[in-house]
Amino acid sequence: MSQTPAHEDKLLRSFLRHYAKKGAVGPSLVAAGATRDDLRRWQEGVEGFEGMLRDSHEDAVDEAVAELRLRAVHGRDSILFHGGTPIWRRDPRTGDVLLDDNFEPIAYTENERSDSLLALYVKAHRAEYREKGSVELSGPGGSSIPVAIMTEFVLPDGKSMEDYEQPAAESHEGPDGGQA
C-alpha cells in the first residue's frame, strides 16, 4: 500500500472493518466517518485497495453464510404470542409470571428453523440438489435461432472483470487495418 497519512490509513482501515461486518459500502462509509470522495481517492491512489475491498467483501459474505446456516440448522428462538400479547412463563404453584435476573418477565419461546434457508444452503454447496433445467428454442418451422449470450460481472468496487484482464499484446496494424 502506498504511504498515506496516519489519519487516512486509520480511516481506510475503519471502513474496511465496517465493510467486512456490514457488507454494504454506504453504511460502512458512514460508520467509519468517511465519504464517497474518500472511497474514490482510495480506489485511485491506494495500491492494493481493490484486493483489500474484495477481502472485506468475502468476510461479509462468509459471515452471512454462517448466519444462514445457523438459522437453517440450529434455528433461533422466537417469542410466542397469543392475541398479540407475549405468553409469559408462570410459576406452576402460584401462577405468578416468572422474572429473569433483571426482573424482566420471561416469555415462552419456540425454536424456529428455516427449511427454505436450509434448502438454499444445501443447493449452494451440493450440485446434486440444485435445480436443473434447459430451454430449447426454435424459429419458424423448427429452424434454429442464432443466440448470443453476454454476461458482465460487476465487482463490489464497481469494475467489471474486463477491467482486470491483462491488456492484449499491442497490434502492429496501421490505420486502415493492414500491417503498418
Burial of 24 (0-12, 13-18, 19+ CB in 10 A): middle
Q: pTM of this prediction?
A: 0.55
- The stretches of 70-154 forming alpha helices (DSSP H) are 115-125
Query: Residue 161 has what pLDDT?
Result: 65
Task: Dump pLDDT digits (tens) for 76-96.
Answer: 999 999 999 999 999 999 999
Query: Residue 139 has what pLDDT?
Result: 85
Angle at 83 between CA 81 and CA 85, to 5 degrees: 50
How many angstroms separate the CA atoms of 112 and 114, rounded?
Answer: 7
How many angstroms separate the CA atoms of 89 and 79, rounded?
Answer: 11
pLDDT < 50 regions, the chain: 1-3, 171
Query: Residue 83 has what pLDDT?
Result: 95
